[in-house]
Structure 1
């Protein structure tokens, strides 16, 4: 069906006519008389020319009126509403909080038999996870030294996936503000149905920045009945090459030495969630597959009506008519006229 966003704008349609009737015409300058011997022929030619001009002026006035109506129609924001689409009445509200601190660039993960950094592995796994969340609302928080809301809770999974793919290490700072990320998540989940509030936290380190501690934020999440699933990411060991990248002097190191598993476990247990350890891409994928098994809860059904804006059509029509009138005026040597139809 057709709908006008601002139909009251159409009340301005008679405005040009009102102005025409109320405002007096511009004063005409007195012209001097000239006596000529061929008066009859001149009167005949003048009459014919006057008839043509009046006809042209009437035609122009109608076109100007049409342009005015088209502009008003475009300004009233017409749109076409499609058939109602029933959204799923069950699902979850999942907020993803992803660590983008400097340590996420450590290349201790493997993807397709190639060493990749932790963020690349995270993007690879999260892409499939997000695509499987049809019927759930997904939100995205990226954090480093600060926490930022990249996507509010939404059914638009494609946009969330795109925002995750476009994220880069360090854009939120090189430190790790886990507490702030939890606090921001609580802020956006607290008004959702109680049984569906879920936060999935992925980090590879310990809280080193922010205004609130992770435990304080977890207690706040507990009060708001938000369940937190924490994922600690990073390999337990990796080979650090020796001088100039050779095997001479190479040694094993623990790239996850800074991972605060104790705090992450406490956060999950406080809120009724669970802590997972992802040492490689396969384990990370299995964790998200396990999270797929969360039971959906009943929510209020929502009805969505797709709409298509139609204002470009009357706007373009008005522009085309104006352009044709301008070209016609240039072609025929048409002169401006006043509101009484005089040249």
Structure 2
């Protein structure tokens, strides 16, 4: 812990006073010993006081001095990194509801597992976060504008409906618009509240055809980067998933590369999950990343407690040993 981590570092100079008291105590004890040897008859001293004082007589003073050191550190105002819940942050959960999400390679289905995990994620976020919900297939829709009301979000998750095609870029643009709208409503400062998009998908973008299209996913990810909104992407499913459409069995493997690139372009993180348990683990990680932040906070309480305990113990020991204070 450096001096820059104290709010009032000049109080540390009191350590010199404690050191002076310690030196003074040692000098006084040696002087007393010399005086006893100078004026006492040693033969008589052995008879009347055969048991010489042992080191335990110094324990009360030592405890008091250590207690003063702890109290000095507390007065200097030590600080430390602390995990504190975020307030006024915005998170938009964008969930893919294309037809490939009815694949059963994840039991009971990709969509059902995604819904269950998403509701747990909503419940676990700290109360100060505004959570929104966007569903996307061929188009993207804001089902719930960012709000601290988790019940509204969970109800919307339960009512997700599948549709054709996958417009990942539209999902990102729609999420960014929802974040901008809330920031304009909240106001309260020049800097917008911190925001993040959590995008869960199982397949490759199909609308438009290319991800670098003006409305494509990579273009949207670059805009998110420019706006300071990282995207945490979750690739959900397996490489052997398939769905039946009009009697045909169509393979729907997950598309890790494009989702990883979206995360990289936006400054976010890429996650992969191929089961409900793995998806829950991913959401647990995101809850820690999104719901809390590290901030410098007061750390004097432990030092204060130690100081009081050592000082009290020192005084109590002195009373027991000598029936008086040192």
Identify the TM-score tier after normalising by the shorter chain.
0.5 to 0.7
Give the equivalent residue in structure 2 for 1:34. Answer: none
Residue 207 of structure 1 corresponds to 205
Residue 271 of structure 1, CA deviation? 1.7
Does the 8 Å CA contact 1:236/1:279 hold for their aligned counterparts? Answer: no
Aligned match for 2:175, one of 181, 185, 193: 185
The answer as to whether partners of 1:202 and 1:231 remain within 8 angstroms in 2 is yes
The worse-fitting range, judged by mean Cα deviation, of 143-152 and 271-280 is: 271-280
Kept in 1, the 8 Å contact 2:103–2:110? The answer is yes
1:137 matched to 2:130: yes
* Counterpart Cα distance in 1 of 2:97 and 2:159: 12
Cα pair distance change 1:89/1:233, threshold 3 Å: closer
Partner SS state of residue 119, structure 1: helix
1:272 CA displacement? 1.6
Of the three residues 109, 121, 124, the one matched with 1:117 is 109
Q: Kindly state the Cα deviation for residue 153 of structure 1 after the two structures are TM-superposed.
A: 0.7
Once the two structures are superposed, residues 279-315 of structure 1 have per-residue CA deviations (whole angstroms, 9 ceiling, x without a partner) of 11111110000001115469xxxxxxxxxxxxxxxxx
Aligned length, in residue pairs: 191
Structure 1 residues 132 and 177: CA distance shift in structure 2, 3 A: same
Match for residue 149 of structure 1? 142
Whether 2:138 is the aligned partner of 1:162: answer no
CA offsets 1:171-200 (integer angstroms, 9 cap, x no match): xxx100000000111112236355621000
Find the counterpart in structure 2 of residue 99 from structure 1.
96
1:89–1:215 distance in 2 versus 1, CA, 3 Å: closer
Structure with greater helix percent: 2
Structure 2 equivalent of residue 290 of structure 1: 285
**Equivalent-residue separation in structure 1 for 2:192 and 2:289 (angstroms):** 14
After superposition, the C-alpha distances for 1:48-76 in whole angstroms (9 at most, x for unaligned) are: xxxxxxxxxxxxxxxxxxxxxxxxxxxxx
In structure 2, the partner of 1:126 is 118
Length-normalised TM-score, structure 2: 0.54
* Offset of residue 256 of structure 1: 4.6
The answer to whether 1:271 aligns with 2:266 is yes
Distance 1:275 1:188, change over 3 A: same
Residue 135 of structure 1: CA displacement?
Answer: 2.0
The CA deviation string for residues 88-141 of structure 1, in whole angstroms up to 9 with x for no partner, is: 97252110000000100111112xxxxx11110011111111011222100000
Normalising by structure 1, we get a TM-score of: 0.52
1: distance between equivalents of 2:272 and 2:250? 15
Aligned equivalent of 1:232, options 235, 243, 255 = 235
Secondary structure in 1 matching 2:154? helix
**Matched residues in 1 for 2:239 and 2:205: separation?**
19
Alpha carbons of structure 1 residues 91 and 287: separation in structure 2 relative to 1, 3 Å = farther
Q: Is the 8 A contact 1:218 1:267 kept in 2?
A: yes
Unmatched 5+ residue regions in structure 1? 1-87, 111-115, 241-252, 299-343
Does the 8 Å CA contact 1:99/1:176 hold for their aligned counterparts?
A: yes
Distance 1:239 1:228, change over 3 A: closer
8 A Cα contact 1:91 1:137, kept in partner = yes
SS of 1:162 mapped into structure 2: helix
RMSD between superposed Cα atoms in Å: 2.6
Q: Residue 93 of structure 1 aligns to a residue in which SS? A: strand
CA distance, structure 2, for counterparts of residue 196 and residue 237 of structure 1: 37
C-alpha contact 1:107 1:117 (8 A) present in aligned 2: yes
